[in-house]
Amino acid sequence: MTIVPRLAAQDLEHVARRYAVAVSPTLLSLMDPADPRDPIARQFLPSLAELNTLPQEIADPIGDGAHNPVPGIVHRHPGRVLFKAVAACPVYCRFCFRRESIGPGKDNALAPAAFEAALAYIAAHPEIREVILTGGDPFILAPRRMAEISGRLAAIPHVKIVRWHTRVPVTDPGRVTDELVAALHGAGATAWVAVHANHAREFGPDAARAIARLADGGIPLVSQSVLLKGVNDDVVSLAALMRAFVEHRIKPYYLHHPDLAPGTSHFRTAIAEGLALMAALRRTLSGLEMPAYMLDIPGGFGKVPLESDHLEMSENGIRVRDMTGAWHDYPEPDAPALIALDGRLKAGHGE
Ligand SMILES: *Cc1c(COP(=O)(O)O)cnc(C)c1O
Ligand code: SF4
């Protein structure tokens, strides 16, 4: 663990007793630890606010436990699974949604028997097209281990896509070596990488090199960010972040509303604020630069896009709302049938 200058040693000890703490030299070089409003410091330096847990905050905020057929696998949607191969990260984000289940002291990597059982589960379910490596941060694994995972997954005929979700390209970019990039390619499947970053300032020179190595290595890149109060909850910061992704060849994918993880209320904005920010972004950014604003519904109900207020259906037809807020009728002769379909979908009979 690196020294954390902003907190008195005693305070740090209180937080660290409860949640994992680690910061990398790369991140330290990008932050001003003495500035409480520094967007990098706020994400990684522990704060006493973390010891304030609200009643609605829960250990498993997105309900992974409800869809956990074997250790390491979360199977909520038929065509894709999460594969948590490791429960550690090189750094620990203070807002982490899995903060109760990850850390250096936890059972880090899946034990060999559990690893084989997870692969057997995927092999036994031909509907699984896509395997999403998450954790923890799977890029903390040794490239040799990553190559084994890629190869074993790609050898399963129905697995077409292996997607790695990682924060390492910005938090610990030195890990992204040519050997690591090679380890992502398994014969018979396509590798994708989702890069997690929350502020344009995370893209320092080392991160830029790491991301270029992935892109030059033939890996398609998408982004993943969390809307965080005091870090990126303003149009200027979010626009700069999305533009930085695109400049680094990363297609903006998801902007997550923060989950109800314990001791993270100081990071959460209201959903209405998030929607207003998205509307402002839509007036500013190109289509290429736009992410989708997502909420993982507490209790294991999955992710939904929050920005769907551009469409309204009624007996009289469909209305669409443009970027200025004006409503327009849309000629739709089958409106009653669509309303019935919408009702069925909302009642949960759609799938
Ligand atoms: C987020 C998540 C996925 C991936 O969702 P996409 O919308 O495909 O990015 C898959 N399974 C679970 C359980 C998830 O929480
Ligand atoms: S990298 Fe991801 S899993 Fe690791 S601490 Fe940050 S949010 Fe949590």
Go through the domains of the chain in sequence order and give each one's CATH number.
59-269 (3.20.20.70)
Of 27, 89, 196, 225, best ligand 2 pocket probe by most atoms within 8 Å of the beta carbon:
89
Tell whether ligand 1 has an atom less than 6 A from the beta carbon of residue 145: no
For the ranges 14-23, 82-91, 106-115, 147-156, the lowest mean pLDDT is seen at: 106-115
* Proportion of the chain above pLDDT 90, given as a percent: 70
| 284 pLDDT above the threshold of 90 | yes
| 135 pLDDT above the threshold of 70 | yes
Host H or E run for residue 281: helix 271-284
Q: What are the helix (H) ranges across 199-270?
A: 205-216, 235-247
Ligand 2, residue 134: give the atom nearest the CA: 3
For the ranges 125-129, 189-193, 294-298, the lowest mean pLDDT is seen at: 294-298
- Give DSSP secondary structure letters for 193-219: EEEE--SGGG--HHHHHHHHHHHHTT-
Contact 4, 27 (CB under 8 A): no
| 129 pLDDT above the threshold of 50 | yes
pLDDT confidence of residue 168: 98
Of 67, 74, 253, best ligand 1 pocket probe by most atoms within 8 Å of the beta carbon:
74
Q: Which among 34-48, 55-69, 222-236, 310-324 has the top mean pLDDT?
A: 222-236
pLDDT band at 341 (very low <50, low <70, confident <90, very high): low
* Alpha carbon distance, N-terminus to C-terminus of the chain: 47
Tell whether ligand 2 has an atom less than 6 A from the beta carbon of residue 192: no
How far, in Å, is the centroid of ligand 1 from the Cα of 51? 29
Compute CA 77 distance to the chain's CA centroid, rounded to the nearest angstrom.
17
pLDDT digits (tens, 9 = 90+) for 187-227: 999 999 999 999 999 999 999 999 999 999 999 999 999 99
Tell whether ligand 1 has an atom less than 6 A from the beta carbon of residue 40: no
Contact 162, 190 (CB under 8 A): yes
Interval 73-87 mean pLDDT: 95
Question: What is the number of the ligand closest to the CA of 22?
Answer: 2
Ligand 2, atom 6, residue with closest C-alpha = 93
Ligand 2, residue 102: give the atom nearest the CA: 3
CB contact set of 64 (below 8 Å; sequence gap of 6+): 74, 82, 98, 300
How far, in Å, is the centroid of ligand 1 from the Cα of 83? 11
Interval 149-168 mean pLDDT: 98
pLDDT band at 3 (very low <50, low <70, confident <90, very high): very low
Neighbouring CB atoms inside 10 A of 213's CB total 17
Of 1, 19, 96, best ligand 2 pocket probe by most atoms within 8 Å of the beta carbon:
96
